[in-house]
Chain A
Amino acid sequence: MVVRPVLRLPEPVLKRRAEPVLRVDDAARALALDLVDTMRASPACVGLAAPQIGVSLRAFVIDVSGHRKARSCHGEVVLLDPEVLVAQDPVHGREGCMSVPDLTGEVARATTLVVRGLTLEGEERVLRVDAFEARAVQHEIDHLDGLLFLDRVSSADAVFRRKVYRQERRLRE
């Protein structure tokens, strides 16, 4: 199990467009494992993208199991080279990010989403997600395009200082 440090702003890799994975080899599988382990290491974290652990490749993991705002729930999902096919019905919601630990922001995200990508078995997978799972997927895909929630906040007064962060960190220690 390898828990990697989660990179934070202003790490340049977070603002770079990540490269396609293309082929599922040992390196891709190892990356996926690190993503899962690193996500699991932070109880509040429901998703992580490869650039956040310093790897500029198009891969992410999410797991919204047990989240009160989730409707669709596919459990632990690792997706490579994801592509959005359908994004509909945007709704505003407050998001935070492990890579921007001190702030949160109001971001509009589609609540109906269809994405296609590669699984770790190298097969194509089409994922239909809604509500919170859709938000999580879009947040992670943004990371692959070098976008943070700060790039999407609805207005200058839609960014907030995160107040519970210190508490959470204490819990984790």
Chain B
Amino acid sequence: MAHFAVSAVGADRPGIVAAVTGVLVDQGCNLEDTSMSILRGHFAMMLLVAGPKGLAPATLEEELGGIAGRFDLVVAVRPIDEAVPASPSGEPWNVAVYGADRPGIVHQVASLLAEAEVNITDLTTRLIGEDGRPVYAMILEVTLPPGLDGDELSSRLETRARELGVECSVHPSEADIL
């Protein structure tokens, strides 16, 4: 089994998922974890797929060329390691940061998290609001390293958010198992 990272991005319209996955099925590939969403009017697909041994990434990319042309998609296929790398485990928390848009919000927040060895496991950002009054919203899911508690993270983030002139909140995301 070979594993690939397949990405495809193009102006959103019906049929993109069906077309891309059709080629993958024809090539004997299985979709594993995927994330697909509309980003600023573009449908962005990030797929981790398993394919038959011997299938070259370049071949798969070439096979996707036909529909890439038809749907005007930017497509890339890269090989990835078969082993699933372990993510740092820890307590999961949610972080929300939002406010008037300005350069560097994501970088500033992510840098603070990196310095604290907080691992980002999910991050979504959206540019919203009206023309001339853009609002930036960022929602993160993070895991805390041993020894750092949510309140400590919260106060560090609040300081950084104040410097940036944005709002931020932190709350535990641990699910209840029913």
Contact = CB atoms under 8 A, between A and B. Distances in A.
Contacts of B143: 163
| Chain A contact patch, size range | 20 to 34
B18 interface: no
A48 B30 CA distance: 33
B175 A94 contact: yes
For the residues of A in contact with B, the DSSP-based class is mixed
A96 B175 contact: yes
B174 A94 contact: yes
B1 interface: no
Nearest to B176: A95
For the residues of B in contact with A, the DSSP-based class is strand
Interface in B25-66: 37
A168 B72 CA distance: 46
Contacts of B37: 156-157
B178 interface: yes
Given A160-B141, A164-B92, A44 B124 contact: no
Interface of A: 42, 44-47, 67, 69, 93-98, 104-105, 132, 135-136, 139-140, 149, 156-157, 160, 162-164, 166-167
Interface of B: 37, 87, 89, 91-92, 121-122, 124, 141, 143, 173-178
The 10 closest A-B pairs by CB, nearest first: A104-B175, A94-B175, A139-B178, A96-B175, A96-B177, A44-B177, A47-B178, A136-B178, A163-B92, A95-B178
